[in-house]
Amino acid sequence: MDMLLFQLERDSDKPLYDQLYNGIKEAIISKKITVGEKLPSKRKLADFLNISQTTIEIAYAQLLAEGYIMSKSRIGYFVEEIDELPYIQQDTMASINEYPKKKSYKIDFNPGSIDIDAFPFQTWRKYAKELFDDTSKELLLTGEPQGELSLRTEIANYLYQSRGVVCHPEQIVIGSGTEQLLPMILRLFSEDTSFALENPGYPAVHRMFSQHKRKVYPIAVDEEGIIIHDLEKTNANVVYITPSHQFPTGAVLSATRRAQALNWAAQSTSRYIIEDDYDSEFRYAGKPIPALHALDRNDKVIYMSTFTKSLMPSLRVAYFVLPPKLLATYNDVFNYYSSTVPRFDQHIVANFMGDGHFAKHLNRMRKIYRKKHDKLTSILEKYSSSINITGEQAGMHILLEVQHTFSEKQLQQLASQAEIGIYPLSAYRLDHYESSQAQFLLGFGGIPVQSIESSIEQLMDCWSIQKNDPST
């Protein structure tokens, strides 16, 4: 090939080398330049196009790096044969762009949000910096299968001090979130084992049980938590519950129900309780409630928790505590398992906890979330003639019951039109039952305390709900 002719726009914001690179690439893809053809020398092409040799060199280098051309020493550049085109067709790009994106809101009452402004970045950076050093090079290798002993030891100490859970590090398994750990727990039970789930409850948990083809019984929840009498009427062997702050209703499992649940589990060697203690660190009324595991005297409770709410969702560190009998089963079933959490991340968390910073961080976040909680409930009290709140004793969301002529779905649509994200309780029901009463989860963790009042007022305005009449 003597020469290449391309239309280069010198006034364009796009660099000349990028224009040239794209021109040659498209010519190769469309077979206008055939396989094996030699490209013009950098000097000749620079003279022909009246551009610098450096521009040609950069364009050729990119084509070479992506495999469109090959270089023969002291001879030149030649078009390479391409088996699979490393580009995306225009119609494919269109379909990708049309894929539905997650809705973003001006105000978002997402119950899963946390206060990202209060995270101790400086302290966290210190521990990360100390670890990423030649002295920690052994962390580049595979670590202990159930997770680093240092982190499991810190978790065991923390659980004893804060939740009354007595366990050894050997009983703890660390993994990348509930989505990974719960299926592992399911595999500890035979395929004919039946399970019970709270209704309403976590939709993701229900999906996990369904994907693993497990028989599931939805069990109703009231103001005292899961109804154990309903559980007793089923053939379930294992029940998954959130006793400290039921998700999504916020109900706390009463002392009577806790005793009933433990008695139910003790009646058979095949019965167990999976206790998900997902946000127990944050309680705003009365004394902290011990974990159900702390009351268990028969080794019937599998305890689960995560650092999602206490530290950050993106950390992807969760864990479960197995009773001794199930630990033996675990060692047989998962003798190949290797912890999926990077060792560096595990050691950062362990050191952060060991030096007391986790406790300090929790104390600070409790004050921040309590302040937000109190602000939220006091503002909502002004609308008590039209709304009712429950589940406000703990956690980072409350349940809002709305007295309105509009349905739950209509109220959600009105909020969405006002760019307000609010989450209906019906979305968490396992039986898809539609209540005549509109109820919503109202998360406050991610909303700045100074924005809570205006956020609530905008929500009430879009629903045309007025403040209480002060004369009544």
Each of the 472 residues of the chain gets a pLDDT tens digit; together they read 566 766 788 877 788 888 888 888 888 888 888 888 888 888 888 888 888 888 888 888 888 877 788 888 888 888 887 654 444 444 444 444 444 556 788 999 999 899 999 999 999 999 999 999 888 889 988 899 999 999 999 999 999 998 999 999 999 999 998 889 999 999 999 999 999 999 999 888 988 898 888 999 999 999 999 999 999 999 999 999 999 888 898 888 999 999 999 999 999 999 999 999 987 778 776 667 789 999 999 999 999 999 998 999 999 999 999 999 999 999 999 988 888 899 999 999 999 999 999 999 999 999 999 999 999 999 999 999 999 998 877 788 989 999 999 999 999 999 999 999 999 998 888 876 666 789 999 999 999 999 999 999 999 999 998 988 776 5
The number of angstroms, rounded, from the C-alpha of 121 to the middle of its chain's C-alpha atoms is 20
Specify whether domain 119-359 bears CATH 3.40.640.10.
Answer: yes
Looking at domain 107-113+365-462, its CATH class is alpha beta
Strand runs (DSSP E) across 238-290, as ranges?
238-241, 272-276
Percent of the chain as helix, strand, coil, to the nearest 5: 40, 15, 45
Give 104: exposed, middle or buried? Use CB within 10 Å, 0-12, 13-18, 19+: exposed
With H, G, I as helix, E, B as strand and everything else as coil, classify residue 184.
Answer: helix
Spans of all domains in the chain: 1-101, 107-113+365-462, 119-359
Residue 362 to residue 282: CA distance in whole angstroms: 9
With H, G, I as helix, E, B as strand and everything else as coil, classify residue 83.
Answer: coil
Question: What pLDDT is recorded for position 471?
Answer: 62
Beta-carbon contacts of residue 207 (< 8 Å; ≥ 6 apart): none
Indicate the length of the chain as a whole number.
472
With H, G, I as helix, E, B as strand and everything else as coil, classify residue 399.
Answer: strand
Question: What pLDDT is recorded for position 363?
Answer: 92
Identify residue 330 by its one-letter amino acid code: Y
What tokens does 367 get? 């004050």
Question: Same CATH topology for 1-101 and 119-359?
Answer: no
Residue 209 to residue 188: CA distance in whole angstroms: 13
Residue 150 · residue 138 · CB < 8 Å: no
Residue 85 to residue 81: CA distance in whole angstroms: 10
Residue 237 to residue 214: CA distance in whole angstroms: 12
With H, G, I as helix, E, B as strand and everything else as coil, classify residue 149.
Answer: helix
Sheet of 238-241: strands edge to edge?
Answer: 172-175, 318-321, 301-306, 272-276, 238-241, 194-199, 215-222, 225-226
The arrangement of secondary structure in 1-101, i.e. its CATH architecture, is Orthogonal Bundle (1.10)
Identify residue 346 by its one-letter amino acid code: Q
What tokens does 167 get? 């366990």
Which helix (H) or strand (E) element contains residue 108? strand 107-108
